[in-house]
Chain A
Amino acid sequence: MLSRVAENLYWMARYLERAENTARLINSMTQVLLDLPKSAYFGWDLLLQIVGLDCANRERYPQADEDSIMHLLVSDTHNRSSILSCVHLARENARTVREVLPMEIWERINQLFLYVRESAPQAVKSRGPRYEMLNGVIERRESIIGLLSGSMSRDDAHHFMQLGRFVERADMTTRIVDIHFAVHMPDDSALATLTRERSWIGTLTALSAYQAYRRQVGVHVEAAAVTNFILKDRNFPRSVSYCLSELDQALASLPHNDEPLCALQDGRNRLVGTDIAALDWQTMHHFLDKMQADLGKLHSAIAAQYFHLHHTKAAADAAVHND
């Protein structure tokens, strides 16, 4: 497989995953957090922190109200992480690798892009169409995943898409957890407990994890149990632990995987070696930062090994002998 194609597949999968995650996040925040008491502070701008956009866009969106933040997250083409940008970039990457994808995949990605482009303007303006549009994104993305799972050979192309998908997902999961430690809770302690619970439900919902959590852990929603579940559960497909083991599987099938596997192992060691329940919000924040850095290093190792391999004429000569 060409290095360039591997890189495009990786990014295509990352952008698709990001688009879907952002859609889920906005939906669940809209659902749950609007119930919060006025004295709790969990404004829309916190969404920007989750997706890592707060600083860069403060100037362009000084008022940070619902409309402008929805615009930024859903349809702003200057923001490369907006849903519209993500599906656009996924489509542009897919377009350059169409020949290695099942034909229908390209059609579905193209249709997803056309759908978002068409429905984004309405979705930004009011919550009804927004909910519908975001669900439309999630459904279409899921149909792409379903098609891939049923029609694509588990070849190198598939492995690189798995890498992109799970690096992105693990990163997003750590960010969604992180944000809760920055929430200002109301002074009234009863209200604070309620608020905290609501916001953790929001987190679980954003990850489609509420049901799985109830079955696995129980009906009581509290910080340590939720974070432990989201980070360490082996079976839930959006937990960081699960993502890392998917990455391990994908890498294991690729050639020359020593360096990326080594980078991945650092992250796995950190996760396994950390007692989540023992962390307070400050040490948790620090831990999540480290996890995100581990994922960044894993990304760099993948890129160095497969995308920007040092191909030289000397290497060409070397290749002749084992041709």
Chain B
Amino acid sequence: MGKERSIELEDFPQAGIYDELLDDQAQPRPVARALFDYFEHIGPAELAARRDAIDAAIMGMGITFTVYSDAGNIDRTWPLDIVPRIISSREWSRVEEGLKQRLTALNLFINDLYNQQRIIKDGVFPLEVLAGSKNFRPQCRGMTPPFGAWAHICGTDLVRDKDGTFYVLEDNLRVPSGVSYMLENRQLIKRLFPELFKSNDILPVDDYPVRLYDTLAALSPRPGERPEIVVLTPGIYNSAYFEHSYLAQKMGATLVEGSDLITGDDDCVYMKTISGLSRVDVVYRRVDDDFLDPEVFRKDSALGVPGLMRAWRAGKVGIANAPGAGVADDKVVYTFVPKIIKYYLGEDAILPNVPSWLCMYDDQRDHVLANLDKLVVKPANESGGYGMLIGPRSTPEERTTFAELIRANPRNYMAQPTLALSTAPTLIDDKLAPRHLDLRPFVLQSDKLYATTGGLTRVALRKGSLVVNSSQGGGSKDTWIINVEEA
């Protein structure tokens, strides 16, 4: 039963694409009914006015991110679309289980790689993939961090295909960012639509900083005492500086730069305070491995702390994520994750991978080279959407370049079909139009496992675009997990 709506929909329904809030008749799905009723109730003028209010609030609160290429312009405000993305709690609990399963297996895998390497000896994971890994750190061999956990904070990117199934697109195990925007988005949307929070059973997200604190505190080498936790940032010019500061503040931790820390001859890490040196127990580092410790990794790094690795190996300081955890954050390793889960846990993966072709295998490479115009080709170790080829949008010249790159270094490339990413209605001018999105939940593991309720929904604000990265014109949405009686 179609109902006249005062807020205009544009380009709905769409053929062959799953929309998060509207069904194929452009009618609200059960999870979205209350939202659309509410929008009708307040009307288009009020909706636009609230959008303007939120833009002003974001500007005033100084919620920003940085774009490297914007010389001279340190920060841009964070674009938040006011239409939330909604998932039912029933569906979410299954996803949550899958996320925890995945991180558990990945941590077993990383610990194995740095120790016995059983998975290689058993022929499940090829040695040549490990040998070609940029993020495998021989300096970490023989280490078993507390609880066997290397990746304590994981940002898992999920997408939904046209059939409505969630797929894992990638696992970010190095220094995943975005969680502060998830938290801030909720604060803003609560300010904006307080009525909706009264009438809907929207699960809260704001326990994350406490869970993060507990995850980090469990790594302290001095259990029983109140741990001194620091957030190590590369500094104000880093794109995620806002988040580093935000999380430090929310956890009551100290935000430090490399030059604020020093490693003593006793292998303990200290920070320089107004009353002298003070011992640090846990470093939540938001600095890449390469820059972590100039004694061990890049000699020219001014961002790190000389001796930090020594302190970590001596068990005098906890580091999250552990150095070397990035070995499993590799788009080629990714393709093995279902096998990794089976190998360590004896279970099938709850969340499927996107089907992928590995260029290191001759037959799969031939398929990729023959279908460059249809596939998305990704390098193993880039992040932020850089260095990719999106086949259907590419020029013949770009495809030729990529074919050469692949042939020169096949281990470094994998390819996936172009997914029909799901969309959600997004307020564009004064209409609701479909825009593609993904979802990044954050998963924590040390003594306990935890996954955020929902996560950060990133949305490509340009019509038809599939690139959701904030550095490339993406925005975000508040993500609601709601208890709803399915009709």
B272 contacts A3, CB within 8 Å?
yes
**Which chain B residues have a beta carbon within 8 Å of chain A's beta carbons?**
59-62, 236, 241, 245-246, 248-249, 253-257, 259-260, 262-266, 268, 270-279
A320 contacts B245, CB within 8 Å?
no
A99 contacts B249, CB within 8 Å?
yes
B485 CB → nearest A CB, Å: 38
Residue among B257, B259, B273, B275 facing the most chain A CB atoms (10 A cut-off): B273
Tell me the bound Cα distance from A111 to B260 in angstroms.
29
With contacts A309-B272, A311-B262 taken as known, whether A111 is within 8 angstroms of B277 at the C-beta atoms is no
Q: A1 in the interface, Cβ–Cβ < 8 Å? A: yes
B264 contacts A320, CB within 8 Å?
yes
Question: Residue B260 contacts which of A2, A319, A323 (CB distance < 8 angstroms)?
Answer: A2
10 more A-B contacts (CB under 8 A) besides A3-B274, A311-B262? A2-B272, A3-B272, A4-B260, A92-B236, A96-B236, A99-B255, A110-B60, A114-B59, A114-B60, A317-B265
Tell me the bound Cα distance from A246 to B259 in angstroms.
32
With contacts A3-B272, A156-B274, A313-B265 taken as known, whether A107 is within 8 angstroms of B236 at the C-beta atoms is no
List A residues 1-36 near B (Cβ within 8 Å).
1-6
B257 contacts A4, CB within 8 Å?
yes
Q: A103 in the interface, Cβ–Cβ < 8 Å? A: yes
Chain A 301-323, CB-CB to B under 8 Å as 1, else 0, gives: 00000100101110111011001
Q: Which residue of B lies closest to A254 (CB)?
A: B274
List 23 A–B pairs whose Cβ atoms lie within 8 Å, in order of A's numbering: A1-B273, A1-B274, A3-B274, A4-B257, A4-B260, A92-B236, A95-B236, A95-B241, A96-B236, A96-B245, A99-B249, A107-B62, A114-B59, A114-B60, A255-B274, A311-B262, A311-B277, A313-B263, A316-B264, A316-B265, A316-B268, A316-B277, A319-B278
Q: Which residue of A lies closest to B254 (CB)?
A: A2
B270 contacts A319, CB within 8 Å?
yes
Q: A106 in the interface, Cβ–Cβ < 8 Å? A: yes
Q: A256 in the interface, Cβ–Cβ < 8 Å? A: yes
Q: A140 in the interface, Cβ–Cβ < 8 Å? A: no
Question: Residue A110 contacts which of B62, B272, B275, B276 (CB distance < 8 angstroms)?
Answer: B62
Chain A 96-112, CB-CB to B under 8 Å as 1, else 0, gives: 10111001001100110
Tell me the bound Cα distance from A94 to B443 in angstroms.
31
The 8 closest A-B pairs by CB, nearest first: A316-B264, A99-B249, A110-B62, A319-B277, A99-B248, A255-B275, A311-B272, A306-B274
Tell me the bound Cα distance from A257 to B278 in angstroms.
18
A6 contacts B262, CB within 8 Å?
no
A319 contacts B276, CB within 8 Å?
yes
A317 contacts B275, CB within 8 Å?
no
For A315, what are the chain B residues with a Cβ–Cβ distance below 8 Å? Answer: 276-277
For A306, what are the chain B residues with a Cβ–Cβ distance below 8 Å? Answer: 274
For A1, what are the chain B residues with a Cβ–Cβ distance below 8 Å? Answer: 273-274
B245 contacts A98, CB within 8 Å?
yes
Question: Residue A316 contacts which of B253, B257, B266, B275 (CB distance < 8 angstroms)?
Answer: B266
Question: Residue A320 contacts which of B241, B257, B268 (CB distance < 8 angstroms)?
Answer: B268
Q: Which residue of B lies closest to A91 (CB)?
A: B62
Question: Residue B245 contacts which of A3, A95, A107, A319 (CB distance < 8 angstroms)?
Answer: A95
For A5, what are the chain B residues with a Cβ–Cβ distance below 8 Å? Answer: 255
Residue among B59, B62, B241, B254 facing the most chain A CB atoms (10 A cut-off): B62
For B264, what are the chain A residues with a Cβ–Cβ distance below 8 Å? Answer: 313, 316-317, 319-320
With contacts A114-B59, A315-B276 taken as known, whether A2 is within 8 angstroms of B270 at the C-beta atoms is no
Tell me the bound Cα distance from A107 to B273 in angstroms.
26
Tell me the bound Cα distance from A80 to B259 in angstroms.
26
B367 CB → nearest A CB, Å: 49
For A320, what are the chain B residues with a Cβ–Cβ distance below 8 Å? Answer: 264, 266, 268
List A residues 244-295 near B (Cβ within 8 Å).
254-256
Tell me the bound Cα distance from A156 to B278 in angstroms.
15
For A114, what are the chain B residues with a Cβ–Cβ distance below 8 Å? Answer: 59-60
Tell me the bound Cα distance from A99 to B247 in angstroms.
8
Tell me the bound Cα distance from A96 to B75 in angstroms.
13
B289 CB → nearest A CB, Å: 24
Tell me the bound Cα distance from A317 to B263 in angstroms.
10
Tell me the bound Cα distance from A5 to B231 in angstroms.
14
For B276, what are the chain A residues with a Cβ–Cβ distance below 8 Å? Answer: 309, 311, 315, 319
B274 contacts A316, CB within 8 Å?
no
For B256, what are the chain A residues with a Cβ–Cβ distance below 8 Å? Answer: 2
B398 CB → nearest A CB, Å: 39
A316 contacts B263, CB within 8 Å?
yes
B245 contacts A317, CB within 8 Å?
no
Q: Which residue of A lies closest to B236 (CB)?
A: A96
A107 contacts B61, CB within 8 Å?
yes
Question: Residue A2 contacts which of B61, B268, B271 (CB distance < 8 angstroms)?
Answer: B271
Tell me the bound Cα distance from A110 to B273 in angstroms.
27
Tell me the bound Cα distance from A103 to B472 in angstroms.
29
B427 CB → nearest A CB, Å: 24
B62 contacts A106, CB within 8 Å?
yes
For B246, what are the chain A residues with a Cβ–Cβ distance below 8 Å? Answer: 98-99
Q: Which residue of B lies closest to A160 (CB)?
A: B274
B245 contacts A99, CB within 8 Å?
yes
For B254, what are the chain A residues with a Cβ–Cβ distance below 8 Å? Answer: 2, 99
Q: Which residue of B lies closest to A6 (CB)?
A: B274
Question: Residue B262 contacts which of A4, A92, A103, A316 (CB distance < 8 angstroms)?
Answer: A316
Q: Which residue of A lies closest to B255 (CB)?
A: A99
B437 CB → nearest A CB, Å: 29
A112 CB → nearest B CB, Å: 11
For B279, what are the chain A residues with a Cβ–Cβ distance below 8 Å? Answer: 319, 323
B273 contacts A2, CB within 8 Å?
yes
Tell me the bound Cα distance from A309 to B259 in angstroms.
13
For A103, what are the chain B residues with a Cβ–Cβ distance below 8 Å? Answer: 249
Tell me the bound Cα distance from A211 to B425 in angstroms.
60
A141 CB → nearest B CB, Å: 16
A302 CB → nearest B CB, Å: 10
Tell me the bound Cα distance from A317 to B246 in angstroms.
32
Chain A 108-144, CB-CB to B under 8 Å as 1, else 0, gives: 0011001000000000000000000000000000000
For A317, what are the chain B residues with a Cβ–Cβ distance below 8 Å? Answer: 264-266
For B255, what are the chain A residues with a Cβ–Cβ distance below 8 Å? Answer: 5, 96, 99
Q: Which residue of A lies closest to B256 (CB)?
A: A2
For B271, what are the chain A residues with a Cβ–Cβ distance below 8 Å? Answer: 2
Tell me the bound Cα distance from A320 to B266 in angstroms.
8
Q: Which residue of B lies closest to A4 (CB)?
A: B260
Tell me the bound Cα distance from A6 to B61 in angstroms.
23
For A323, what are the chain B residues with a Cβ–Cβ distance below 8 Å? Answer: 279
For B248, what are the chain A residues with a Cβ–Cβ distance below 8 Å? Answer: 99
A102 CB → nearest B CB, Å: 10
B24 CB → nearest A CB, Å: 44
Tell me the bound Cα distance from A95 to B233 in angstroms.
13
Tell me the bound Cα distance from A107 to B254 in angstroms.
20
B262 contacts A256, CB within 8 Å?
no
Q: Which residue of B lies closest to A104 (CB)?
A: B61
Tell me the bound Cα distance from A3 to B62 in angstroms.
25
Tell me the bound Cα distance from A114 to B60 in angstroms.
8
B179 CB → nearest A CB, Å: 16
For A255, what are the chain B residues with a Cβ–Cβ distance below 8 Å? Answer: 274-275
For A92, what are the chain B residues with a Cβ–Cβ distance below 8 Å? Answer: 236
